[in-house]
Structure 1
């Protein structure tokens, strides 16, 4: 068996086999190196957020592209097709492996295992805020074991957290708490010279040094550190509300809505029939909502309540489980028997796929507000309407109806400020799981 090289001379079968083995080995070595260069195993991104998947994809696709180009240059045609298939399969398997490992890691961190023993250093009030936020996100893996305060007043900040009122013997405190991560919580906690020396002192101890900034609810991809004259300046990019990324999001919406309608069409027809059988009245429930830039549109749902639900609402307002802005009731008597089922699994939201096709909504975005709800917004809350509202969103995968008003607003604003295509895909995946389980919906 012979294979042609670029100058026309044939490769023998043995030479071709050796060349194939060498190229395959080179591919795996370059892939492993690229994963390291792109920091896919860096503790700061490993196990949480979309940055890990971004790093894996970037490293894998660049390696596959480089090897494919090289194979075209040496004219190994059979090996090209093999590597494209094997490389593509390898990327999928690697992403699935990372996802499976992340699930296991999250299970361990919920039990306070495989977490970073973290010591906070800074002004008392700021340290308290940082400790509260880190404790609320156990999956990030920061186990707060102690706080070293730099101001005079020292008292308990959080239950189970030891407070030390001096940082003069900071290295001794680090050893006493068996710390592997040190977070400086306020800029004035240590002088620049002391902070630099602290980094040197922590290096042989294997302790990570993290400096918390005053920034809140800003995702990693928007933050870039660029040193100028030895001073690390943190650049915060503006949120993306237009441009090619937004066009790509719209393309994803259209494709996803069409696919979703085709796949769920038998379910749509079945729900339509069962609503008719369950209670008299129309199948769809149209409602005025506010969309992009506050423009009103008609949002559609499958009807899950009796037709006189609006008249019954007045007598139920004092039983609301909400926070004074939205009406929520766990056992709402206005909901029909079949309505309880479709609400639990969010099947009543399926007609909104047609709203997505029309451009009123996106697959992922903030919850679309009612006009009377938006009338009570504070000025900063109107940023929720800087993007199209979503069929799903962070609120959908973070507790749904169990969330209070303030937390729902915070999650919506976080999405508006930090959305990304990869983040949208992760939210859609988490939505499928949340809907299947019926968590937090009523």
Structure 2
């Protein structure tokens, strides 16, 4: 991939093509990126099936369906067909969110099922090779390849390239909130280039973004200026009839219409659009706290903790020795925390402070730099030399794998609070206790101790409401990068 291959200028909010046609550069990079993803998936699949057939295939089989070449070709077509049918190459899901990997996993699972059924029908003896070797290898390589492409795309977006130009239409307050969010998270690929409001006074600006017209003029501005996304934010003007008319007026353009519902913090698999009696309804399902998916999470937690404990056992022994040599006291620190449904448990950590640090906390209360109910100091005098390194890279949290193994914690979940913090929770914040606390979570990959209290609570509640196995996978993957950089850890 050449540097800058996808880079293309975003049309200015005030640039209008002379002939009134839609400006296309912002759309072109999306198509280029989609072609790169398709090519990468195809090449990865071809390499895997060729290598599988060459090294493990049976070439002297009597029947045509036993020959490795036929099975390899059929497996590749099946995988690529499943990716196309599952819309795993849709531009809307490429480069952001867990949905891209969810569709990729669903496609490969479909390929496994179809391949297994085909093997049974053909009584193939070698079908296991393709089910248990080829497709898992394809899954591993394509997911790594997608992730590397995503990192590259996010880096481009942080530099102001490969962004979708957005026209925001709604009340000034909700539009300002949207502008702030897009600037805070540029990797999501949105940039608000223009705003339409009720008054639509030309020459005005909202947080540096020009106001180009009224809410009634949205479709005209989209057709003239080539915006990729029309973001409709809450405003009394947007009645069902007007939203429908706007959708009709945008037909034939390349713009995607996005409507922000009132339920801003409910997302992911809990939201469904159904047509009931001809009326489109946004159906919000209840959060999942029990059932089959939770049982799968329990199994994954226990197995994952056991595997990680075996992998990190040498490191944990070394860290324990360093802690003992560095300062007086035990290697492991035990503390009471509050878990699921308010039940207390003992959390395990490597000791990072001097002995008696809990008693010295009262003397440092006036220096507290933590947000909300949290007590934090950037330079806590109680932290030892070894403890500072352990905290920076979250190595002190490794003993909590025993908490996960015994069932008091999960690999992913909200932060486990202290009893005194939990006692001060209001009804809303107590919803964090509906699930097990986690070794990592959304707070871990979003800034950790640098997060404002309100943002940390919002992320925890979002996890409780919108939990899914795919989200857990993404969080675990991103935790590695957060730990390596050590951002927000002290």
Q: CA deviation at 1:23?
A: 4.9
The corresponding residue for 2:103 is 55
1:55-89 Cα offsets, whole Å, 9 max, x none, are 11111111232123213322343365246532332
Q: CA deviation at 1:358?
A: 2.0
The corresponding residue for 1:247 is 295
Q: CA deviation at 1:429?
A: 1.9
**Distance in 2 between residues matched to 1:426 and 1:168, nearest whole Å:** 40
Is the 1:124–1:151 Cα contact (8 Å) retained in structure 2?
no
**Distance in 1 between residues matched to 2:132 and 2:404, nearest whole Å:** 35
Question: Is the aligned partner of 1:277 residue 2:325?
Answer: yes
The corresponding residue for 1:220 is 268
**Distance in 2 between residues matched to 1:239 and 1:333, nearest whole Å:** 42
Q: CA deviation at 1:19?
A: 7.1
* Residue 45 (structure 1) aligned to one of 71, 75, 93: 93
Mark the CA change 1:251 to 1:76 in structure 2 (over 3 Å): closer, same or farther: closer
* Residue 407 (structure 1) aligned to one of 439, 442, 455: 455
Secondary structure at the aligned position of 1:379 is classed as coil
Q: CA deviation at 1:30?
A: 3.5
The corresponding residue for 2:259 is 211
Secondary structure at the aligned position of 1:322 is classed as coil
Is the 1:292–1:389 Cα contact (8 Å) retained in structure 2?
yes
**Distance in 2 between residues matched to 1:13 and 1:313, nearest whole Å:** 74
**Distance in 1 between residues matched to 2:295 and 2:163, nearest whole Å:** 39
RMSD of the TM alignment (CA)?
A: 2.5
Mark the CA change 1:155 to 1:360 in structure 2 (over 3 Å): closer, same or farther: farther
Secondary structure at the aligned position of 1:339 is classed as helix
The corresponding residue for 2:404 is 356
Is the 1:285–1:303 Cα contact (8 Å) retained in structure 2?
yes
Is the 1:68–1:84 Cα contact (8 Å) retained in structure 2?
no
Q: How many residues align?
A: 432
The corresponding residue for 1:200 is 248
1:262-303 Cα offsets, whole Å, 9 max, x none, are 111111211111111111112222111111111111112111
1:5-30 Cα offsets, whole Å, 9 max, x none, are xxxxxx99798389765554443334
* Residue 218 (structure 2) aligned to one of 170, 180, 203: 170
The corresponding residue for 2:177 is 129
Is the 2:65–2:122 Cα contact (8 Å) retained in structure 1?
no
Is the 2:309–2:401 Cα contact (8 Å) retained in structure 1?
yes
Is the 2:337–2:417 Cα contact (8 Å) retained in structure 1?
yes
Mark the CA change 1:128 to 1:303 in structure 2 (over 3 Å): closer, same or farther: same
Q: CA deviation at 1:184?
A: 1.6
Q: CA deviation at 1:117?
A: 0.6
Secondary structure at the aligned position of 1:186 is classed as coil
Secondary structure at the aligned position of 2:252 is classed as helix
The corresponding residue for 1:347 is 395
**Distance in 1 between residues matched to 2:269 and 2:409, nearest whole Å:** 25
Q: CA deviation at 1:154?
A: 9.1
Greater alpha carbon shift after TM alignment, 21-30 vs 411-420: 21-30
Is the 1:257–1:357 Cα contact (8 Å) retained in structure 2?
yes
Secondary structure at the aligned position of 1:147 is classed as strand
The corresponding residue for 2:121 is 73
Mark the CA change 1:157 to 1:38 in structure 2 (over 3 Å): closer, same or farther: farther
Is the 1:128–1:157 Cα contact (8 Å) retained in structure 2?
no
Q: CA deviation at 1:205?
A: 1.9
Is the 2:176–2:207 Cα contact (8 Å) retained in structure 1?
no
Question: Is the aligned partner of 1:108 residue 2:156?
Answer: yes
* Residue 142 (structure 2) aligned to one of 59, 74, 94: 94
**Distance in 1 between residues matched to 2:60 and 2:444, nearest whole Å:** 60
The corresponding residue for 1:289 is 337
Query: Which consecutive residues of structure 1, in runs of 5 or more, have no partner in the other structure?
Result: 1-10
Query: Which consecutive residues of structure 2, in runs of 5 or more, have no partner in the other structure?
Result: 1-58
* Residue 419 (structure 1) aligned to one of 467, 470, 490: 467
The corresponding residue for 1:3 is none
The corresponding residue for 1:27 is 75
**Distance in 2 between residues matched to 1:374 and 1:336, nearest whole Å:** 28
Task: Map residues 327-346 of structure 1 onto 2, 5 A cutoff.
Answer: 327-346=375-394
The corresponding residue for 1:309 is 357
Secondary structure at the aligned position of 1:162 is classed as strand
Greater alpha carbon shift after TM alignment, 176-185 vs 157-166: 157-166
Q: CA deviation at 1:389?
A: 0.7
Task: Tell me: higher relative CO, structure 1 or 2? Use CA pairs within 8 A at least 6 residues apart.
Answer: 2
Q: CA deviation at 1:330?
A: 0.9
**Distance in 2 between residues matched to 1:261 and 1:438, nearest whole Å:** 22
The corresponding residue for 2:371 is 323
Q: CA deviation at 1:178?
A: 2.7
